[in-house]
Amino acid sequence: MKKPLRFAVFVSGKGSNLHAIVDAVKKGEIASELALVFSNKPKAEAIKYAAEIGLETLHLHPRDYTNPQSYDRDIVINLKRAKIDFIVLAGYMKLLTPYFVKEFPNKIINVHPSLLPAFKGKQGIKDAFTYGAKITGVTIHFVNDKMDNGPIILQESIKVPEGETLENLTEKIHAIEHRVFKKAIAMYEQGRLKVQAARRVKIVPAK
Ligand code: GAR
């Protein structure tokens, strides 16, 4: 039998997506091994949860480094040491440097809570809501060296009904994320995502 891939999840916040990923690993919906949870924020609920359930965790503080590249270089050293094959950004709110991205080309997957390229940044749900968008959604994409910009793997839309509240919309978006993210991770590990020219990600059928 083929050895499972090893992956790291990067977090900065609450960790609801990490919870969903851990559940999916437990249920066998994701076959890869969750080998490391990394955070730039020591107090993030997500990293506390990871430690509590016995996952390998790592925290490095950006302020201990002279610049973003030296920070990322240290992360990469740790990832290589842990034999990480691919990386999942689950609410990681720090931009990866071009150096980092080059080390893991088309091996970093991000979840973003809007239909990219609309409402990039740190508060996609709130920005879409405040803008009055009537349709918003979730994007899963490969990471390149620009923020929320890499080739799109999956998107799912949702209508914003009249009278919707931000809280309710946030809950709905998270529920979509938790369902769609694990699907994309499973496609990735099965070798079903082919990044082609002109940003196209072709999804090939499961064998
Ligand atoms: C998620 O909604 C994710 O899409 C978003 O951060 C949230 C993390 O929630 N990421 C971005 O906005 C990236 N640009 P979580 O910590 O509960 O998983």
Query: Quick check: pTM over 0.85?
Result: yes
Q: What does the pLDDT look like over 76-114, one tens digit per residue?
A: 999 999 999 999 999 999 999 999 999 999 999 999 999
pLDDT of 174: 98
Confidence tier at 2 by pLDDT (50, 70, 90) = confident
Q: What does the pLDDT look like over 178-206, one tens digit per residue?
A: 999 999 999 999 999 999 988 899 999 99
Cα of 16 vs centre of ligand 1, distance in Å, is: 8
Cα of 112 vs centre of ligand 1, distance in Å, is: 6
pLDDT of 198: 84
* Mean pLDDT (whole number) for 172-182: 98
Cα of 1 vs centre of ligand 1, distance in Å, is: 34
Does residue 185 contact residue 88 with C-beta atoms inside 8 Å?
Answer: yes
Q: What percent of the chain has pLDDT over 70?
A: 100
- Alpha-carbon distance 130 to 126, whole Å? 6
pLDDT of 203: 96
16 lines ligand 1 (CB under 6 A): yes
- Alpha-carbon distance 5 to 134, whole Å? 39
pLDDT of 197: 86
The domain spans of the chain are: 6-201
pLDDT of 207: 82
Annotated active-site positions, please? Answer: 112
Q: Measure Cα distances from 68 to 142, 143, 204 in Å.
A: 20, 17, 36
Q: How far apart are the first and last CA of the chain?
A: 15
57 lines ligand 1 (CB under 6 A): no
Pick the CATH number of 6-201 from 3.30.70.2190, 3.40.50.170, 1.20.1600.10, 2.30.30.230: 3.40.50.170
* Mean pLDDT (whole number) for 55-81: 98
